[in-house]
Structure 1
Amino acid sequence: MFRSVAWIALLAGGFAAAAQAAPKKPNVLIILADDLGYADLSVQGCKQFKTPNIDRIFNEGVRFTQGYVANSVCAPSRAGLLTGRMGSSFGFESNLNHDLSSKPGSTVGLPLDQKTIADVLKAVGYENYCIGKWHLGDNQKLFHPLKRGFDAFCGLISGSRSYWALEKHDPIKTLMVDYGYMDEGQVEDFYVTDVLTDKAIHYLETRQKDQPFFMYLSYTAPHGPLEAKDDVLERLDYDFKNPKRKIYAGMVVNMDDNVGRVLNCLDDLGISENTLIVFLSDNGGPTDKNSSSNWPLRGMKGQLFEGGVRVPFGVCWKGTIPPGQVNNEPVISLDLLPTFAAISGADKKTTIETDGLNLMPLLMQRTGSLPGRTFYWRRGEKTQVAIREGKFKYHQNRRKGEEFLWNIEDDIGEKNNLVKEHPELASRMRAQYEKWETTLPPLGVGIGAPAPDEGKKSQKRK
C-alpha cells in the first residue's frame, strides 16, 4: 500500500516513536475553517488582527507552507478531506445543487460507497463526533452524519446560514442535535460559532474516558453572511478602511477565541498529549465576497490558482510531534485519513483506499520529504483543470482557452507564465493530465455534472 521499501521502514520507525510517547490510541481533532484567507492568521503573517489560539496549533507542531485541499469550493473539498480520496475519483467536483439535493429521496450527496474517516476509525473503537457544517447531502435518510460513521452530530446539514438564531425553522439550516432540531431562540446570546464550541466542549467533557475519539469540528466561520459580535469588534484596534474587512476580522477573532476554549478544555481534561490536532481551511478565501486575503497567492475560492487550493495547514500532537517546525513539503488534505489510519492501527485491520500519504514520518522528522507524487484538480463541469508535479504547476481554463505553467517554488504568486518558454513541459503535463482524466468515472449529477436541463442552459451560455 505504501510506495517503497524505504518508506515502509520510515513508517515503522515513526509508529514506534509515536507508540512510546502515547501508549493509548490517540484522539484525533480536525478543526476546519470555512473560506479562511491564506494570510488571515497571525502565524501566516496577518498584522491587522491576532489569532494566538490557532497559532498555538502551528507553533506547537508543524506549519505547512504548501498545504493543499482537494478542491477550491466547500462540498468537494470536504468530500476529499473526509474520504482521503480526490472527489474526481467518485464524480464529486462541485458544490451541491440544492434544487436537486433537497428533493425528497434525493441521491445527491457523498456517495454511499465512500468510507469516511469516521467509518475507518469506528472500526478500531473510536467514538466519532461531527460538529458544524456538513454540506455533503441534504437527504438525511442517506447522508446524515450519523449515517456516515459518526456517533453524535450538532450542526447544520447545508453549507451556510446566519450566525444569529433563526426566526423561522429551516430543515437544512437550523442547528440539529443528532436527528432533532435545536430551539435556537431559547439559547442565550446565540451565535453559531459559540454554540458549536459549547457542544464540542460538552462532548469532550461527557465522553467515555477509556475510549479514543475523533472530533470533526467544522466551523462555518468566516463564510458569509458577514456577521460579527459587537464585543469582538470593539476589541479590534486596527484602523480598517474596509468595513467588510473589519466584520470578517471579528468573525476570525471569534473563531480563534473558540479554538482557544477547545484547546484549554483538552488541557484541563489532561488529554492534550494524547490528541493529534489539525487546523486547516476548506478552500482559499473568496476575497471578492468576505474581504479575506490570500496574499501572496493569486486567485481565490472557486479557482485553481494557488489562492483557491492552498490553505493554512497546521498539525500538532503535544509530546509526540516536535514543536516549532516549518515544513515546505507539499501536503494535501487527502493525507489526513491515511495518517489517522496509521496512528490508530486501522490500517492494520483493513485496506485503506486513499489518494493520500501517511504524514507521520514527516511530522516526526524521520524524513525530510515524501515520496514523489502528483496532485490533480478539476472543477466547474471540467472547465478548470490543474496538475502539480514537483516544483511545476500546469493550469488550464478550458472555458476561456487559457493555459499556464509556473515554477511554484520560485513564483508563489503565479505571475510568470512559462508556457512559451517551456512548451515541451507544458505539453507533457497537459498530456499527463488528460491521461489521468481517462481513468475517472462520469460526474455525479448535482455534485459535478448539471441536471439535464441545466446542461442545455450551460451550452447556450457558451
Structure 2
Amino acid sequence: MIRFFIIPIVCLLSQVWASEGRKPNIILIVADDLGYADVGYHGCKDIPTPHIDSIAHRGVQFTHGYANAAVCSPTRAAMLTGRYQHRFGCEYHIGQFRRSPELKIGLPLEEKTIAERLKPLGYATAMFGKWHLGGEVLQDRSIMPSSRGFDEFFGILEGASLYDDVKNRERKYRRGYELVDGEPEYLTDAFGREAVSFIKRHQDKPFFLYLPFTAPHAPRQIKPEHMEKFKHINPLIRRELVGMVYSLDQNIGRVLSTVQEVGIEDNTLVIFLSDNGGKPNDNGSLNHPLRGQKTQYYEGGIHVPFCMMWPGKIERETKYHNPVIGMDLFPTILKLAGGEIKPDWDIHGTDLMPYLTGKNEGRPHETIFWKSNKHYAVRHKDWKLVKQGAQMELFNLAEDLSESNDLANKHPELVQQLLKKYHAWDSQNIPPSFGHHPSIGEKIERVPR
C-alpha cells in the first residue's frame, strides 16, 4: 500500500498558521450524480474540467474516496454531521412515509450540522444549492438550511429541479425560507453567482461556503450555447451530460478565481467530491473502470471523484491511497477551525489532516460500511464484501478495482469475518425514520408550497 510521505514544509507551515491564530476559510463543493470517469484528472477526454482538475492537481487526490451512500440524501446527512446516517434514521431519501408522528421528515434537530458547529467559532456560513435533508414535505422551517446553521441560503430543498425555471413555476427555488418569484439565470450559473457574491462580502472574516450543485443530476437541461459547442458528441444523452458538467466546472472556476482575486487563496481550503456515482442511463455519466452505478454498492455507486487543495498547506500533485469517506469532512473542517469534538457527539468520521501531513501514517479507517434496506457493503482494508440483491460477493480491491473476480467461494472464512463486522455495526443502527415505501409507516400528506 502506497502511503503519504511526510512533507516537513507542510508541517512547518501548519505550525505557523496555527501560531498566528488565523482561521481558514472552507469551501465545500459537491457535484450531484457525477460519474467517476467524468473528470479530466480521472482520464475523461470529452468533458473539459480544468477547474475541477486544478483542485486535484494543486492539492491531494483521494484515489479511494467514498460517498457515505449510493444516493443523494443519505450521503449529505453523513457528510454534514460526521456520523453514519443510519444512527439517526436518515438511511433513505426524503419521502412521504414516516415511522412515527414525532419524527422529523429530514435531518433530526439533535444532529448538528458542521455549519451549526462553526458559527460559535466565528464563521460566516452560507449554502447555495441542493439541500435534500428535509423541510419540503410539511414546509417545516425547523429543518430547512436557514435553521440548520446557514446564515444565507439560496437553492432548493428537493432532490432535483429544473435548470431554467425563469418564473419558478415548479415553486422550488428559495432564498432563506421563502420561495422566490423566479431566477433569470441557468441554475448552475445562479449558484456560482451567489457563491462569488458571498466570498466578496466575507473576505475579511472566516467563512464556510457549502456549494452543493444540482448538476449533473437530471433533468438533462443544457445551455443552448453548450449544445452547439458540443454538437460533435453523441449520443444526445452524453452531449447533455457534457454540457452540464462543463457549466459546473465553469462555475467552480468562478469561485476559485474570486478566491484568488480577493487575496485569500493561501488561507482557503477547497474540497470537491460527488455525492454518489453516476447513473449512465439516467444522465449519461460514466463510471469506468468501476463496476455499478448510483443506487448500488459496487464501486461505481460509491467510489467518487474526491480531492482538496490548500496552497502552502497541502503539497501539489499528492495522491492519498487509503480509503476516506464523506463523513471525514466534518471532523477535518471542525478541527481546522479550532473546534473540539466532544465524545458524546459520537462522530464516526476521522480528521484527515494528520494523515495528509504525515503525522499519522496509519489508515483513517480500517473498516467502512454502507447499507440501504437489505443491500449493504463492507470494506475492510483492501477487501470488500458486497450484498447487492440476493448475491453475496467478495473482492480484493487492491488487485481488482473493477470488481470482476468474485472470491467469496475461495475465501468463505473471510466472508464470515466481514459479515460479523457488518452485523456488529448494524446492531447499533436504528430503523429508517422516513422514505418512499409504505412499509416504513404512516403516509404524510404534503403541505403545498
Q: How does 1:154-233 map to 2 (within 5 A)?
A: 154-167=154-167, 169-171=169-171, 173=172, 175-184=173-182, 187=184, 190-207=185-202, 209-233=203-227
Q: Which residue of 2 aligns with 1:283?
A: 276
Q: Is residue 2:423 matched to residue 1:434?
A: yes
Give the distance between the partners of 1:300 and 1:367, measured in 2 at CA: 33
Q: Is residue 2:96 matched to residue 1:107?
A: no
Instruction: Identify if the C-alpha distance between structure 1 residues 385 and 149 changes in structure 2 by more than 3 Å, giving closer, same or farther.
Output: same
Letter of the structure 2 residue corresponding to residue 78 of structure 1: R
| Ranges in structure 1 where 5+ consecutive residues have no aligned partner | 1-9, 455-462
Contact 1:74 1:95 in 2 (8 A): yes
Letter of the structure 2 residue corresponding to residue 37 of structure 1: G
Return the match for 1:125 from 118, 122, 128.
122
After TM superposition, the score normalised by the length of structure 1 is 0.88
Say which is worse superposed, 33-42 or 44-53, in terms of deviation.
44-53
Instruction: Identify if the C-alpha distance between structure 1 residues 371 and 290 changes in structure 2 by more than 3 Å, giving closer, same or farther.
Output: closer
Contact 1:392 1:407 in 2 (8 A): yes
| Ranges in structure 2 where 5+ consecutive residues have no aligned partner | 1-5, 444-449
Give the distance between the partners of 1:429 and 1:206, measured in 2 at CA: 50
Contact 2:386 2:394 in 1 (8 A): yes
Instruction: Identify if the C-alpha distance between structure 1 residues 352 and 340 changes in structure 2 by more than 3 Å, giving closer, same or farther.
Output: farther
Q: Is residue 2:314 matched to residue 1:321?
A: yes
Q: Is residue 2:377 matched to residue 1:386?
A: yes
Q: How does 1:36-115 map to 2 (within 5 A)?
A: 36-97=34-95, 99-100=96-97, 107-115=104-112
Deviations along 1:113-151, one digit per CA (max 9) or x if unpaired, are 101110111121111101100010023422111111111
How far residue 179 of structure 1 moved from its aligned partner, in angstroms, is 2.2
Contact 2:277 2:293 in 1 (8 A): yes
Contact 2:323 2:364 in 1 (8 A): no
After TM superposition, the score normalised by the length of structure 2 is 0.90
Return the match for 1:20 from 16, 20, 23.
16
Residue 211 of structure 2: SS of its match in structure 1? strand
Q: Which residue of 1 aligns with 2:293?
A: 300
Give the distance between the partners of 1:45 and 1:151, measured in 2 at CA: 38
Deviations along 1:357-414, one digit per CA (max 9) or x if unpaired, are 11112222444442552101101xx2101100000001113xx421000001111010
Give the distance between the partners of 2:144 and 2:326, measured in 1 at CA: 22
Letter of the structure 1 residue corresponding to residue 226 of structure 2: V
Residue 232 of structure 1: SS of its match in structure 2? helix
Letter of the structure 2 residue corresponding to residue 27 of structure 1: N
Contact 2:292 2:301 in 1 (8 A): yes
Deviations along 1:296-339, one digit per CA (max 9) or x if unpaired, are 00100001111111100001001111111122111111110111
Give the distance between the partners of 1:48 and 1:67, measured in 2 at CA: 23
Q: Is residue 2:417 matched to residue 1:419?
A: no
Q: Is residue 2:396 matched to residue 1:410?
A: no
How far residue 234 of structure 1 moved from its aligned partner, in angstroms, is 2.7
Q: How does 1:260-271 map to 2 (within 5 A)?
A: 260-271=253-264
Contact 2:13 2:312 in 1 (8 A): no
Give the distance between the partners of 2:438 and 2:207, measured in 1 at CA: 36
Contact 2:375 2:387 in 1 (8 A): yes
Letter of the structure 1 residue corresponding to residue 417 of structure 2: R
Contact 1:36 1:285 in 2 (8 A): yes
Give the distance between the partners of 1:152 and 1:259, measured in 2 at CA: 19
Instruction: Identify if the C-alpha distance between structure 1 residues 150 and 354 changes in structure 2 by more than 3 Å, giving closer, same or farther.
Output: same
How far residue 44 of structure 1 moved from its aligned partner, in angstroms, is 0.9
Deviations along 1:144-191, one digit per CA (max 9) or x if unpaired, are 1111111110111111011002545444x2x21112332225x3xx20
How far residue 435 of structure 1 moved from its aligned partner, in angstroms, is 1.9
Residue 36 of structure 1: SS of its match in structure 2? coil
Say which is worse superposed, 440-449 or 134-143, in terms of deviation.
440-449
How far residue 448 of structure 1 moved from its aligned partner, in angstroms, is 8.5
Give the distance between the partners of 1:29 and 1:447, measured in 2 at CA: 32
Contact 2:331 2:341 in 1 (8 A): no
Instruction: Identify if the C-alpha distance between structure 1 residues 315 and 109 changes in structure 2 by more than 3 Å, giving closer, same or farther.
Output: same
Instruction: Identify if the C-alpha distance between structure 1 residues 428 and 60 changes in structure 2 by more than 3 Å, giving closer, same or farther.
Output: same
Instruction: Identify if the C-alpha distance between structure 1 residues 48 and 435 changes in structure 2 by more than 3 Å, giving closer, same or farther.
Output: same
Contact 2:266 2:312 in 1 (8 A): yes
* RMSD between superposed Cα atoms in Å: 2.3
Equivalent pairs counted in the alignment come to 429
Q: Which residue of 2 aligns with 1:361?
A: 354
Instruction: Identify if the C-alpha distance between structure 1 residues 448 and 424 changes in structure 2 by more than 3 Å, giving closer, same or farther.
Output: farther
Give the distance between the partners of 2:11 and 2:153, measured in 1 at CA: 31
Give the distance between the partners of 1:436 and 1:30, measured in 2 at CA: 28
Residue 87 of structure 2: SS of its match in structure 1? helix
Give the distance between the partners of 2:11 and 2:169, measured in 1 at CA: 48
Instruction: Identify if the C-alpha distance between structure 1 residues 333 and 447 changes in structure 2 by more than 3 Å, giving closer, same or farther.
Output: farther
Residue 283 of structure 1: SS of its match in structure 2? coil
How far residue 236 of structure 1 moved from its aligned partner, in angstroms, is 2.9
Give the distance between the partners of 1:72 and 1:45, measured in 2 at CA: 22
Letter of the structure 1 residue corresponding to residue 191 of structure 2: L
Instruction: Identify if the C-alpha distance between structure 1 residues 107 and 371 changes in structure 2 by more than 3 Å, giving closer, same or farther.
Output: closer
Give the distance between the partners of 1:432 and 1:348, measured in 2 at CA: 26
Letter of the structure 1 residue corresponding to residue 116 of structure 2: D
Give the distance between the partners of 1:295 and 1:87, measured in 2 at CA: 27
